[in-house]
Structure 1
Amino acid sequence: LAVINVLHTSCTLTINENADPRVLADLTAYLRALVPQEGSRSLSGQGPLRPYVHDDEGPDDMPAHIRTALTCTSLSLSFHQRRLVLGTWQAVYLWEHRAHPHRRRIGLHLLGAPVGAA
């Protein structure tokens, strides 16, 4: 078993379809519509946008934090005979929530019997 986690607060990890890149494009568009860069609305979706207060690293920073809070920063992945166990159309993605790519680090923790153990 491998537990991986992203060591940042504005990107996440996801397992999703790898056959069609439009899937990730659609997911990104949905999440950007749910958490607009310009600010937030009330839960009813009515009323004016309220600008985000936290913008220390730029206007894309707070929306990225919210998108991260709504998604996953870690995954538990199974291995069998040294191979990652995923479905036919699945892949692991690091999902950037900032407007531009940033250098990212992930942590990895491995659990289980050593290779060759009886």
Structure 2
Amino acid sequence: MKNLLVQRILMTVAAGVLVACGASTKPNVVEKPVVDVAPIKVMACSDPRPEICTQQYDPVCGTRHVPRPCGKGMICAAVMTTAKKTYSNSCSACSNDDVQSYTKGACPAS
């Protein structure tokens, strides 16, 4: 009888250990995104604006301010909108007085 009681206690302890060891625990690890995207660096054009630029091709996406279109005979507020255009290099972009800033690389196709 005593042996039977000891066997049951040992079986219960062994079962508890096996269940505890088999439990799935996930470590507290912060998962990183699959694609690591670098922030886009915006460069501002400054005065004085360049007048002569070299001809190297290092494309930039220039952001220029353009007036909002207004219908004939309508009174429109002086509101500017932005448009993006690819320039051959940063000097070419900033030589245009309408361009306020640029980012490296060609503008995305829209």
Q: TM-score range by the shorter chain?
A: under 0.3
Structure richer in helix, relative to its length: 2
